[in-house]
């Protein structure tokens, strides 16, 4: 079984380019989690059901901003949008699907912004999101995935020294990631590839960063420790173009 996460940076853009359709046909994920869809479901004229998918969509109140979606061939037992906190649930950042043996959560974590004006809000978001997944994890194991907007360790970005203190690599954001791991969750990619360098999921559009592989690993599958025995591999698909992020695939038994 394969679950994919991908920040598409505009779902209509990747559909117009044909890259999302190509990926679905080539990779055939059982579940596809999308972030930054930037659209209402009514704005997307594409028959995902032709691929056998049920579609769940969480749009931001602000049109053309943020938003998440999940396409799944396996019908969930239940679906929940947001984290039940009004101050966080205006931007369409979270969808939760309940399956027989686990919960799957897709998340698009708020960016602290270049000038860090949203860092304080981001800290509160992190605390509230961790409380949310911890409550679910008491019922069934959690798998959560998406663009977490943080490179956890120096190995997770090409130029760590020059990015210390920048959005996505501040001490505060990295410490919040530590809190997640200390709460008995696992960065699944690093569990399989602890020393792998040059493994990135996002590249700036500037200065040919992707061609030069000057990137950041900010898209993750975080898995409850007790569920890790079901994880067989995590694959970063840097070959898939169409967004400034690439897909990441989680293989389960």
Helix (H) or strand (E) holding 127: helix 119-137
Burial class of residue 2 (count of CB atoms within 10 Å of its CB; 0-12, 13-18, 19+): middle
- Per the DSSP assignment, residues forming a β-bridge with 72 are 31, 54
Distance separating alpha carbons of residues 213 and 216, to the nearest angstrom: 9
Classify the C-alpha dihedral 168-174-178-179 as positive or negative: negative
Q: Which listed residue (56, 102, 132, 147) is catalytic?
A: 147
Q: Which listed residue (23, 53, 103, 108) is catalytic?
A: 108
Q: State the DSSP string of 192-246.
A: H-TT--S--SEE-SSTTTTTTT-EE--EEEEEEGGGGGGEEEEEE-TT--SSSB-
Active site residue 108: yes
CA Rg value for the chain? 17
For tokens 């999308």, the residue is 34
Active site residue 187: no
| Active site amino acids | 108, 147
């Amino acid at each position: 079984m394969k679950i994919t996460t991908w920040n598409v940076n505009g779902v209509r853009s990747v559909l117009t380019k044909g890259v999302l359709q190509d990926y679905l046909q080539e990779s055939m994920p059982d579940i596809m989690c999308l972030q930054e869809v930037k659209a209402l479901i009514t704005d997307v004229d594409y028959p995902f059901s032709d691929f056998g998918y049920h579609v769940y969509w969480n749009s931001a109140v602000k049109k053309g901003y943020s938003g998440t979606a999940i396409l799944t061939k396996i019908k969930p037992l239940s679906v929940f949008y947001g984290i039940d906190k009004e101050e966080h649930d205006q931007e369409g950042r979270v969808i939760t699907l309940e399956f027989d043996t686990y919960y799957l959560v897709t998340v698009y974590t708020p960016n602290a912004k270049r000038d860090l004006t949203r860092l304080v809000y981001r800290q509160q978001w992190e605390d509230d999101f961790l409380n949310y997944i911890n409550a679910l994890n008491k019922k069934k194991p959690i798998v959560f995935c998406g663009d977490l907007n943080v490179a956890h360790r120096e190995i997770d970005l090409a130029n760590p020294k020059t990015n210390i203190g920048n959005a996505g690599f501040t001490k505060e954001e990295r410490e919040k990631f530590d809190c997640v791991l200390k709460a008995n969750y696992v960065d699944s990619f690093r569990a399989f590839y602890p020393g792998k360098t040059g493994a990135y999921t996002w590249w700036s559009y500037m200065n040919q960063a992707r061609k030069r592989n000057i990137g950041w690993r900010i898209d993750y599958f975080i898995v409850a420790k007790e569920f890790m025995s079901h994880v067989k591999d995590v694959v970063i698909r840097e070959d898939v173009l169409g967004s400034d992020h690439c897909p990441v695939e989680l293989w389960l038994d």
